[in-house]
Chain A
Amino acid sequence: GESVGLHLPTLSVQEGDNSIINCAYSNSASDYFIWYKQESGKGPQFIIDIRSNMDKRQGQRVTVLLNKTVKHLSLQIAATQPGDSAVYFCAENEVSGGGADGLTFGKGTHLIIQP
């Protein structure tokens, strides 16, 4: 099966609420994780990353949480806005062992913002 996956293909949230998008991975050797956002008609855009020596990292309105014990990654978006509507991909890499071609993507979760 896939080494990286997402729990839900679609997530619908009310504008202003917080969103949580989840991702599971299976490669225990993965040490670098990334979230990408892909808006309709555009290419994926880097949001935030986290290394395996951390369990939490915050950006502007986004937080990534890493639980290495259960191999789980999540992206939290605070106060969701219409502009957050997009497909969100998690990706993993075993940086110590290779190059950027080792990046493995999940299928993506489509975040829908309800007015």
Chain B
Amino acid sequence: ETGVTQTPRHLVMGMTNKKSLKCEQHLGHNAMYWYKQSAKKPLELMFVYSLEERVENNSVPSRFSPECPNSSHLFLHLHTLQPEDSALYLCASSQHYRGGNTGELFFGEGSRLTVL
């Protein structure tokens, strides 16, 4: 049972749809992340929130919009996506953003997104 829960696990959407991915962490962590995982590519960091404030936005297209209402919840709002956005979207959390053994991320099981 992972401490990071993502919903939905699978999502199929058209290019004109608006949908959201949800992530919840039950670990009391201060930092949360969105990663994109495409076939045969390394994990790509999209967004980082530390104590509910966005600290990193790695040049992600505006059709992806994150929201972090509190330290336990993270959303990724999707609109006007392209077929190349089809991927596994992974949420992760860490105890801290800086300090300690930064890098020990706890991942959710991912949301498999297919854009038609």
Shortest C-beta distance, A71 to chain B (Å), equals 17
Q: Is the CB of A32 within 8 A of B103?
A: yes
Cα distance A34–B92 in the bound complex, in angstroms: 15
Given contacts A34-B103, A46-B105, contact A99 B43 (CB under 8 A): no
A103 at the interface (CB under 8 A from B): yes
Cα distance A78–B41 in the bound complex, in angstroms: 28
Given contacts A32-B101, A34-B103, A45-B107, contact A100 B94 (CB under 8 A): yes
Cα distance A46–B104 in the bound complex, in angstroms: 7
Q: Is the CB of B90 within 8 A of A99?
A: no
Stretch at the interface among B12-20, B48-56, B64-72: B48-56
Chain A-chain B contacts (Cβ-Cβ < 8 Å), number: 78
B87 at the interface (CB under 8 A from A): no
> Contact size class for B?
20 to 34
Q: Is the CB of B56 within 8 A of A43?
A: no
State which residues 57-116 of B face A: CB under 8 Å: 90, 92, 94, 96-98, 101-110
Cα distance A105–B107 in the bound complex, in angstroms: 14
Q: Which residue of B lies closest to A108 (CB)?
A: B42
Q: For residue A4, which residues in chain B have a CB less than 8 angstroms away from its CB? A: 42
Q: Is the CB of A43 within 8 A of B109?
A: yes
Q: For residue B98, which residues in chain A have a CB less than 8 angstroms away from its CB? A: 98-100
State which residues 42-67 of A face B: CB under 8 Å: 42-46, 49, 51
Q: For residue B50, which residues in chain A have a CB less than 8 angstroms away from its CB? A: 99
Residues of A within 8 A of B (CB): 2, 4, 32, 34, 41-46, 49, 51, 89, 91, 93, 95, 98-108
